[in-house]
Structure 1
Amino acid sequence: MTETDLQTEKTSRRSLVWRQFKKNKPAMVGVALVLVLGLVALFAPFLAGDVPIVMRKDAKLYLLPNVITYGALQAENMYRNFDRWEPGPGEFAWRPPIPYSPLRQNLRERLEPPGREHWLGTDDRGRDVLSRIVWGTRISMSVGFIAVGIAVLIGIVLGALAGFYGGAVDALILRFIEIWICVPSFFLVITVMAFLEPSIVNIMVVIGLTGWPGIARLVRGEFLKQKQQEYAIAARASGLNDRRIIFRHLLPNALSPVFVSATFGVAGAILTESGLSFLGFGVPPPTASWGEILKQSQSYVDFAWW
């Protein structure tokens, strides 16, 4: 079989997988929702904030001040007056569609119901709820992907070592995994966070360090199967070192279940972060996160449902 035939076969397999995937309507809806949330997190500065996207003031043009830096604006004492500044002659400001900062407080507008000014109302400190949800998406999605990235890295390394070498190495790592799984991960995260300063970085690291056992077991099982295949035996016979066999030959063929597990892991990490923030162990206020928003709103649900 020529190289062209192999490439054609790979392309046809990918097309077949994609066609089968498209037939799964719930899966397509899930992918669409993840993409929407990812776009909201990525473009949060363009969707919500009191800093204009493009503005002209005093014959100076500011491009993307909401993304690049606040330094020049703060130097001119403009930043804290954006919510009241109106362009004069020859000036303009192109603001995000939700022109409110997730941190800016206005006690005169506290607990305002949904309306033209605030589409989802305001919280107990007069902050725009929709703006906080948009920026909370960035926090929650960041926690999900980075925490799962840490868990995947640890799980791949330990699972690959256990599955490839077997014997005493496999037994030692497998016993460690089983002991780790016996401890409820959420309570372990709460216990560790109780001794650490609440921060987004600590949350990512702790969730990542507690979420690897399932991935390690998946990788171990795949390596036990893949190392018996003919290509792995041929790689050993050709004299390749263990590191090259593991990372260049076995690992690419063992990643399929890891991707599936990582997908669910992102959702689990987001729920864990929300739960931690709701219990007071998560992202410190006034930073907006989904759990923090729920925590702050629970006292007002009876008379201010928004």
Structure 2
Amino acid sequence: MTSGQSYWQIVWKQFRKNPFSVGSLWVLAVLFLIAIFAPVLACNIPFYYHDERGTAWPWFRALFNPEETVDYWFNLAMVAFFPWLIGVVIHALRYRRRYPEKLLPVGKYAAVYALAILGLGGIFMIPGVRPDNRYRARTFPEEEFARQGTARAVYPLIPFGPTEQDMDSPVKPPFYRKPRFTTNPNTGEQVLFWRKSNDGFPHILGTDDVGRDVLVRMIYGLRISLTVGFVAVGIYMVIGIVLGAIAGYYGGFVDILISRIIEVIMLFPAFFLILTLVGLLGQSIYIIMVVIGLTGWPTVARLIRGEVLKQRNLDYVAAARATGATNLRVLFWHVLPNSLSPAMVAAPFGIAGAIITEAGLSLLGFGVRLPAPSWGLLLRQGSENYHYWWLVVFPSLAMFITVTAFNLVGNGLRDAMDPRLRI
């Protein structure tokens, strides 16, 4: 019974039949929320701080002035999230009352969210609009500890920063809590071991070689992994879709030229090309994203080309031409929207592959540059001494869950878009 249903309603109905894919979709939703709200979950900058000098709200100012560009855009996503969510709920309720049989326009909601983030980014790029971080040089946990009794602060759930070091607590195991006092080896006396107000909080997943909290670095490392995956795949999806559509629709010399370019690009191994560029230009997350994007599009182009070749001979294309539509309008308005299924199936697998590539490069020392948090960098530290098992197990488990979730979603989309499986 599929009469009266749109294509995406049929796809969603088929997708929901796969419980593993649906569960993976929820896992990815949770991971995205963790990445977006990372500063609320873990940060060593207090929401509110008060001492004899007055009251400060440093967290809100630091939100718009993070050390990493990736964090800036994720922070804007956090700022835009709740207004966007309220708007989505209101629109969805009205849409359900008006069109009870139709699917919610999820794609439009996502596009509005992306435009809101870009709009906020543009607004805060205007000189004088973005609030300056006047508290950048202050270390509030140390100040609060030094002014016990006169200072009050409210911190996020985990009061550690992703780059905050504690040389007194290197490579400590999970649930390590720094003791308040320690014994002086020379005199045998008990001396105060705490230096900051957050020293008494446990390191749930332990610390790395310079005392940085592993859980916090994994939370912020998730931002880098998702950014590399989505930006790199976004680049090669756009290139592959456009070139594949042009090759399939026009055929002839255009098809031959683009096909030869595809074959040439496929000769370049992305991993070794990244290693070469890193050696020439230095470590950079942007090199990883751009190279994966510029070398990964041939597969998508081939898939789109084959689908467009099939679509261009159907009756609706001839009808569109008969109405006087130009070739570009027929291609991008009629043919291409009906040819995107292979690309949408390939996207989740591509994101998973990009995440693994970034982690592998960081493991080898050619990826993200310290002190930026990265799952691959944690693995690199753990691989140097396997006694520090928590530096290997937890990042590996995080990568396994994330990559598996993307792969299962890709499998679910592939099965849902296969006409042979529709009943």
| Fold equivalence (TM over 0.5) | yes
Asked if the contact 1:41–1:134 (Cα under 8 Å) also holds between the matched residues in 2, the reply is: yes
In the other structure, the counterpart of 2:162 is: 102
Asked if the contact 2:268–2:295 (Cα under 8 Å) also holds between the matched residues in 1, the reply is: no
Q: Deviations over 1:116-174 (max 9, x none)?
A: 51000101111111111111000111010011100111101110110011011111111
Q: Which whole-Å CA distance do the structure 2 matches of 1:114 and 1:292 have between them?
A: 18
Give the 5 Å matches for 1:1-306.
Answer: 9-10=4-5, 14-57=8-51, 58-62=53-57, 64-69=60-65, 71-74=133-136, 77-78=137-138, 80-83=139-142, 85-86=144-145, 92-115=152-175, 117-303=202-388, 305-306=390-391
* Number of aligned positions between the proteins: 295
State the SS of the aligned residue for 1:228: coil
Q: Which whole-Å CA distance do the structure 1 matches of 2:294 and 2:158 have between them?
A: 36
Q: Deviations over 1:231-277 (max 9, x none)?
A: 11122222222221221111111112111111111111111111111
The alpha-carbon distance between structure 1 residues 247 and 53, as it changes in their structure 2 partners (threshold 3 A), is: farther
Q: Which whole-Å CA distance do the structure 2 matches of 1:242 and 1:254 have between them?
A: 16
The letter for the 1-side match of 2:256 is A
The alpha-carbon distance between structure 1 residues 288 and 303, as it changes in their structure 2 partners (threshold 3 A), is: closer
In the other structure, the counterpart of 1:5 is: none
Q: Which whole-Å CA distance do the structure 1 matches of 2:149 and 2:317 have between them?
A: 73
The letter for the 2-side match of 1:64 is F
Q: Which whole-Å CA distance do the structure 2 matches of 1:89 and 1:229 have between them?
A: 78
The alpha-carbon distance between structure 1 residues 248 and 15, as it changes in their structure 2 partners (threshold 3 A), is: closer
The alpha-carbon distance between structure 1 residues 94 and 23, as it changes in their structure 2 partners (threshold 3 A), is: farther
State the SS of the aligned residue for 1:60: strand
Per the TM alignment, residue 66 of structure 1 is displaced from its structure 2 partner at its CA by 4.1
The alpha-carbon distance between structure 1 residues 61 and 84, as it changes in their structure 2 partners (threshold 3 A), is: closer
Q: Greater CA deviation, 162-171 or 295-304?
A: 295-304
TM-score (norm 2): 0.65
Q: Which whole-Å CA distance do the structure 1 matches of 2:273 and 2:287 have between them?
A: 14
Mark the runs of 5 or more structure 1 residues left unpaired by the alignment.
1-7
The alpha-carbon distance between structure 1 residues 181 and 72, as it changes in their structure 2 partners (threshold 3 A), is: same
State the SS of the aligned residue for 1:300: coil
Q: Which whole-Å CA distance do the structure 2 matches of 1:237 and 1:289 have between them?
A: 55
Asked if the contact 2:363–2:377 (Cα under 8 Å) also holds between the matched residues in 1, the reply is: yes
Per the TM alignment, residue 56 of structure 1 is displaced from its structure 2 partner at its CA by 4.2
The letter for the 1-side match of 2:34 is V
Q: Which whole-Å CA distance do the structure 2 matches of 1:59 and 1:137 have between them?
A: 36
The letter for the 2-side match of 1:45 is P
Per the TM alignment, residue 95 of structure 1 is displaced from its structure 2 partner at its CA by 1.4
Asked if the contact 1:53–1:65 (Cα under 8 Å) also holds between the matched residues in 2, the reply is: no
Q: Greater CA deviation, 54-63 or 237-246?
A: 54-63
State the SS of the aligned residue for 1:85: helix
Q: Greater CA deviation, 164-173 or 94-103?
A: 94-103
Q: Which whole-Å CA distance do the structure 1 matches of 2:298 and 2:153 have between them?
A: 51
Q: Greater CA deviation, 33-42 or 59-68?
A: 59-68
Report the identity percentage.
Answer: 46
Q: Greater CA deviation, 237-246 or 296-305?
A: 296-305
Q: Which whole-Å CA distance do the structure 2 matches of 1:10 and 1:89 have between them?
A: 66
Q: Deviations over 1:158-192 (max 9, x none)?
A: 10110011011111111221232234332233233
Per the TM alignment, residue 91 of structure 1 is displaced from its structure 2 partner at its CA by 5.8
TM-score (norm 1): 0.88
CA-based RMSD of the aligned residues comes to 2.3
State the SS of the aligned residue for 2:153: strand
Mark the runs of 5 or more structure 2 residues left unpaired by the alignment.
66-131, 178-201, 392-423
In the other structure, the counterpart of 2:76 is: none
